[in-house]
Amino acid sequence: MLQVNYIRENRDSVIERLGVRNFKALELIDEVIALDERRRQLQTESDALAAEANAAARQIGELMRQGKRDSAEAIKAQSSGYKEQQKKFVEELDSVEAGLHEKLVLLPNLPHPSVPRGVGAEDNEVVLEHGRRPELPEHALPHWELAAKYDIIDFELGTKVTGSGFPIYKGKGARLQRAMINFFLDQAGKAGYREVQPPILINEASGFGTGQLPDKEGQMYHVGVDDLYLIPTAEVPLTNMYRDTIVKESDFPIKLTAYTPCFRREAGSYGAHVRGLNRLHQFDKVEVVQVVHPQKSYEVLEEMSLYVQSLLRAIDLPYRVLRLCGGDIGFTSALTYDMEVWSAAQQRWLEVSSVSNFETFQSHRLKVRFKGENGKTQLAHTLNGSALALPRILASILEHNQTEQGIKIPDVLVPYTGFAWID
């Protein structure tokens, strides 16, 4: 959530930067500033009235001690309206603050100056491309056909048990999933991330803290009886571990990793691009999160991007890195890199990771703070990244490594799978 003081002091810059996002409701900026001015005015008047009431109370007490009861009663009668006036101030102040909050939560994060202008995915900037795209024979199969051929993923059975978008992994398919999870967690541990096993259900406060609420409630599964949400990513519980805390500056960088199943309704998703593992309602993912000093966050973002790339290189998949444009960047992010792998059978790029710097947008909502060298309390910066989301990685492994003999498992995963081939 943007900070009111920053909006007030940098109005024109805020409007310009939101324009990079193609954000249309720019009238919210002036509405926020007007509400903030009214809030501050009410607070000033309320404080002045409270000071008058306190002064009157002291004067009444002094007169009573001096035995001047009539004078004390006269002042008490004159100040009898203070309590009712104060009540009205409090009621209006609460109303104005609620209105200000409602406006603020509608404003997305300000994009970093390096974010390119653009409307959608076609305007994202390709930062780099790594690896050679394999040339598969004409009879090469897409991953959903390979899954059926080797009986390792059953989409129809998943639909029977739950519904579309909930596949069942079987045999070597299930073992390959587990192998990737363990490999990614082990690599994260070697990179200094502390492993956590968080809940996969969150409350409303957690969803608000990281920005999923109120922006994405339609994309999350809601357990209505208990008013809980199934997590769309481990970013949410991991980052919320530090909600309402003041961390030590010496603890930076705070590095966390977790494996969780993730749940997304993906309402309105249909067509060939969602076939097979391309888009699911439930999927497995290893996440990395960092809470860092503001001066270090963009250096950390580059490090996290390189870390995710190292995983893609380890499993030998061709990939590219995109800097998302203003029209494609997430609501909470200041700068996002997407990593995409090449789907050899589908002949298109598939997103497998997003690495984002949220600056203070999440920490302001979460109240994640630290005390700097000058003793002043400041907001930390938060970052997160997928390292990695499994479905499209698995799809690419199956498609890239298909041969006449079967599907070859990447060498780094063989110690985790216990087999080198799916045949």
User: Which residues in the chain are classed under CATH 3.30.930.10?
Assistant: 121-422
> In sequence order, what are the residues at sequence separation of 6 or more whose Cβ sits closer than 8 angstroms to the Cβ of residue 70?
none
Retrieve residue 195's tokens. Answer: 């492993």
- d(Cα 111, Cα 20) in Å, to the nearest integer? 7
Which tens digits make up the pLDDT trace of 101-110? 999 999 999 9
Q: What is the pLDDT of residue 81?
A: 75
Whether 90 has a pLDDT exceeding 90, the answer reads no
* pLDDT in the model for residue 100: 97
Exposure on the CB side of residue 75, measured as CA atoms within 13 A: 17
Higher pLDDT, 64 or 377: 377
- Per-residue pLDDT for 62 more than 90? no
Residues 305, 321: contact at Cβ < 8 Å? Answer: yes
Residue extent(s) of CATH 1.10.287.40 domains in the chain = 4-104
Q: Cα–Cα distances in Å, from 88 out to 59, 85, 360?
A: 24, 5, 34
pLDDT single digits (tens) 181-200: 999 999 999 999 999 999 99
The CATH superfamily of 121-422 is: Bira Bifunctional Protein; Domain 2 (3.30.930.10)
Distance CA 113, CA 92 (A): 38
> Exposed, middle or buried: residue 377 (CB in 10 Å: 0-12, 13-18, 19+)?
exposed
d(CA 138, CA 175): 29
> Looking at residue 154, what is its pLDDT?
97
Model confidence at 271, pLDDT cuts 50, 70, 90, reads low
pLDDT in tens, 331-388: 999 999 999 999 888 889 999 999 999 999 999 999 999 998 888 999 999 999 999 9
Which residue, chain included where needed, has tokens 């990513």? 233
Q: Is the pLDDT of residue 314 over 70?
A: yes
- Give 134's pLDDT tier (boundaries 50, 70, 90): confident
pLDDT of residue 102: 95
Q: What was the pLDDT predicted at 297?
A: 98
Burial 102-140 (b: 16+ CB within 10 A, else e): ebbeebbbbbbeebbebeeeeebeeeeeeeeeeeeeeeb
Question: What is the pLDDT, as a whole number, of residue 99?
Answer: 96
CA dist list (Å): 379 to 60, 84, 133, 224, 307 = 45, 38, 43, 33, 25
The reply to whether CATH 1.10.287.40 applies to domain 4-104 is yes
Q: Are strands 201-202 and 194-195 parallel, antiparallel or unpaired?
A: unpaired
